[in-house]
Chain A
Amino acid sequence: MTDAYFNEMYDNGNLRTPYRMLESWYQNMPAEFRAGKQAEAEDLFRRYGITFAVYGEGGDPDRLIPFDMFPRVFTAAEWRRLERGIKQRARALNAFLSDVYERGEIIRAGRIPADLVYRNDAYEIAVAGFRPPLGVFSHIVGIDLVRTGADQFYVLEDNCRTPSGVSYMLENREVMMRMFPHLFQENRVAPVDGYARLLKRTLASVAPEKCDRAPNVVLLTPGHFNSAYYEHSFLADLMGIELVEGQDLFVEGDFCWMRTTEGPKKVDVIYRRIDDAFLDPLCFRPDSALGVPGLMNVYRSGGVTICSAPGAGVADDKAIYTYVPEMVRFYLGEEPLLQNVPTWQCARSDDLKYVQEHLSELVVKEVHGSGGYGMLVGPKSDRATIEAFSARLAENPSNYIAQPTLALSTCPTFVEAGIAPRHVDLRPYCLVGRDVDLVPGALTRVALTEGSLVVNSSQGGGVKDTWVIAEE
């Protein structure tokens, strides 16, 4: 009998190589010892202050996201394949962004409908015709992947704006190394702690042409009330750059300045963790107090670089997602290495008809939604829920897309009675500047509830350390 889901440790009962060293580790672990370690892990996370929800997911910001100590493991060979696919996709998404804000070749070529791009709310008129340094719009591309077989991965969605959660990737490793140092002696786990250095190098590489010295890079946060504030201060700290809020910056003349005790200091690159709409009240929402008035003028006249670039969101819209494989072919002349999940656009009447007739088999999502809210998981829903959803869908079809329910792979996860398979996904963080970089690691989210396919932290998800181990 074969399992309905790909088990990353025991493939049809056979122990897979990447997990070989871990079998004796968990089998020889006494229950009391494990409970003690779990408590220690929680203690460490509390001490580090990681209690935030993955951005946009809502939930209680002071709640710890459960950490599962059982690592998720890839071999170097598996990772190399993934890495090629992730970098390819990050390049294509950036090529698409610089194209649709300039000549729009992909639209002229009839490969993507004009209205899907230009009428998209995320298409930013204010930056049309503007080319950011090196033509890069999305400097940190978070690509959400799921695995359905030994060699089969699917991209669930792209995050081209300000994907969060990378602090989990770094802290999960930190905590695991403190608690189980011998594991890292026995397994050649590729390090991920180079991420901060690579991120800073990426940000510095896109400094404006006008900048003629070592660029001053800052991280712009909405403030401590934001659910991801911890991550903002954590990353700023690791990179050794200033963490600023809008009120710490001001615009004068053609530049953006930071207030310091020694007087104003010019800012060259802003890694912003606030949304486009709040960046500049003189260009976007006039009621925003989070941004910097005049910032967009400085940006558009080449005085400062904003990462990710305003307008980058048009590439990660769920309606655009369908066309990413086409972008890979169009801009790179390559076949996509990572597959998209087959997707029905409810805006199309044929697709809508199919979706309405198969709601009990499909996952239906809002085009602009995130965090697992407002979606229907057909196979897990009762008739009344499906009927109510069907009515909402009929009212505003273009607001929805649908996908088949995927057989997400499972990883062993600690449960009361030992270990049990739980479904996981994967979010790697690809850096795009002068180079395209990817550290050998990612954030693995795990659905802790038995049988659940929803890994979002707001709905019972947890996180795991993610390993890439060297071949022998």
Chain B
Amino acid sequence: MILTVLHKTRYDFETPVAGIIQSQRLTPARCDGQRVIDWQVEVPGAVMGQVFRDGAGDYIQTVSLRKPATHIEVTVSGTVETTDTSGVLRGHRERVPPRAYMRATPRTKPNRAIAELVAEALDAHAAAPALERAHMLAAAVAQALPYRPGATHAHTTAAEAMNEGAGVCQDHTHVLIACAHLADLPARYVAGYLNATDDGSPHEASHAWAELFIDGLGWVGFDASNKCCPNEHYIRLGSGLDAQDAAPIRGLVLGGATEALDVTVVIEAQQQ
């Protein structure tokens, strides 16, 4: 499938700021299942550092603007050819040992409700292979947290989302990571794009899902929000321990002012 992406992030400041600096993770990962045909990240007026690849295999770039500004706009556009790998991440060069993804952050720290969810899902299937247990956990999370935009916010933790009983892709991912850790499966947060499909299932174009490490298979993606594994409708950007760690843009406004943020993401499949 050929997917085109147009992703604009615009920051408007009430009063001019002294500058801005960002660490961007906005280039698709190099792995089987996705091939970049063309890709640009543009930030008018900014100094762009060279793109480098970190130990997790993500493409990282430093972008800075060191002069007074009233707004800044990041435009990501490109075309990617995708194929379905049933969620399995292959051909991805990375150096981080999977066991390093066993640690929790404040956002993925399990609470009792999450522990009970894991026990309910897995207790009867202790002998099941890891891949099967991973599927069971993803299904359990999907069931426990119906998709409901607005139920949570950008800083909601896995535990808080469980208490709320609903959430969006970020919450599903955090809770699934917490569940996986309890089941002794390394897990991480993946940020990317999702092509909106017409089958009525919930979706977010700027999307997130979890990857769980399955011995013998490697990293496998699980999208609890859409009750599936990532397929040719997905574009993988990068990963981290949680939403903050994996954020496509981590930035800081110098001489901070109130900002208005406007994000639009359009993903389209080209007609074959």
Q: Which residues of A contact B (CB under 8 A)?
A: 101-102, 104, 107, 114-115, 118-119, 121, 123, 125-130, 250-254, 281-283, 286, 293-294, 296-298, 300-301
User: Residue of B at shortest CB range from A107?
Assistant: B97
User: Residue of B at shortest CB range from A298?
Assistant: B62
**Is the beta-carbon distance between B54 and A300 smaller than 8 angstroms?**
yes
Q: Which residues of B contact A (CB under 8 A)?
A: 21-23, 47-50, 52, 54-56, 60-62, 64, 66, 94-97, 99-103, 241, 244, 250-252
Given pairs A125-B96, A128-B97, A297-B60, 16 additional interface contacts (CB within 8 A): A101-B55, A118-B100, A119-B100, A125-B101, A128-B55, A251-B62, A252-B47, A252-B66, A253-B47, A254-B49, A254-B50, A281-B252, A294-B62, A300-B60, A301-B49, A301-B50
User: Residue of A at shortest CB range from B96?
Assistant: A128
Known A-B contacts A129-B95, A281-B252, A282-B23; the reply to A252 vs B64 at CB < 8 A is: yes
**Is the beta-carbon distance between B54 and A253 smaller than 8 angstroms?**
no
User: Residue of A at shortest CB range from B188?
Assistant: A125
**Is the beta-carbon distance between A294 and B64 smaller than 8 angstroms?**
yes
- Cβ contacts under 8 Å, A250 to chain B: 21, 64, 66
Shortest CB-to-CB span from A144 to chain B, Å, is 28
Known A-B contacts A119-B102, A282-B252, A297-B23; the reply to A125 vs B49 at CB < 8 A is: no
- Cβ contacts under 8 Å, B60 to chain A: 297, 300
CB pairs A–B below 8 angstroms (13 shown): A101-B55, A114-B97, A115-B99, A119-B100, A119-B103, A121-B103, A127-B55, A251-B64, A253-B64, A282-B23, A282-B252, A294-B23, A300-B52
Shortest CB-to-CB span from A247 to chain B, Å, is 10
Which 9 A-B residue pairings sit nearest by Cβ, starting from the closest?
A129-B95, A129-B55, A128-B55, A118-B99, A282-B23, A128-B96, A301-B52, A118-B100, A297-B62
**Is the beta-carbon distance between B55 and A125 smaller than 8 angstroms?**
yes
Shortest CB-to-CB span from B183 to chain A, Å, is 15
Q: Which has the most chain B C-beta neighbours within 10 Å: A251, A252, A283?
A: A252
Q: Which has the most chain B C-beta neighbours within 10 Å: A130, A281, A297, A298?
A: A297
Q: Tell me the dominant secondary structure on chain B's binding face.
A: mixed
- Cβ contacts under 8 Å, A102 to chain B: 95
**Is the beta-carbon distance between B102 and A115 smaller than 8 angstroms?**
yes
Q: Tell me the dominant secondary structure on chain A's binding face.
A: loop
- Cβ contacts under 8 Å, A254 to chain B: 49-50, 62
- Cβ contacts under 8 Å, A107 to chain B: 97
- In Å, the complex CA distance between A281 and B101 comes to 21
- In Å, the complex CA distance between A125 and B57 comes to 12
- Cβ contacts under 8 Å, B21 to chain A: 250-251, 282, 293-294
- In Å, the complex CA distance between A19 and B252 comes to 59
Partner of A129, one of B96, B101, B102, B103: B96
- In Å, the complex CA distance between A114 and B184 comes to 14
- Cβ contacts under 8 Å, A293 to chain B: 21, 252
Shortest CB-to-CB span from B207 to chain A, Å, is 22
**Is the beta-carbon distance between A114 and B252 smaller than 8 angstroms?**
no
Shortest CB-to-CB span from A253 to chain B, Å, is 5
- Cβ contacts under 8 Å, B54 to chain A: 126, 129-130, 300
Q: Which has the most chain A C-beta neighbours within 10 Å: B56, B66, B95?
A: B95
User: Residue of A at shortest CB range from B97?
Assistant: A118
- Cβ contacts under 8 Å, B56 to chain A: 125, 128
- Cβ contacts under 8 Å, B96 to chain A: 125, 128-129
Shortest CB-to-CB span from B123 to chain A, Å, is 24
Shortest CB-to-CB span from B136 to chain A, Å, is 24
Partner of A286, one of B22, B47, B62, B250: B250
Known A-B contacts A127-B55, A250-B66, A297-B60; the reply to A118 vs B102 at CB < 8 A is: yes
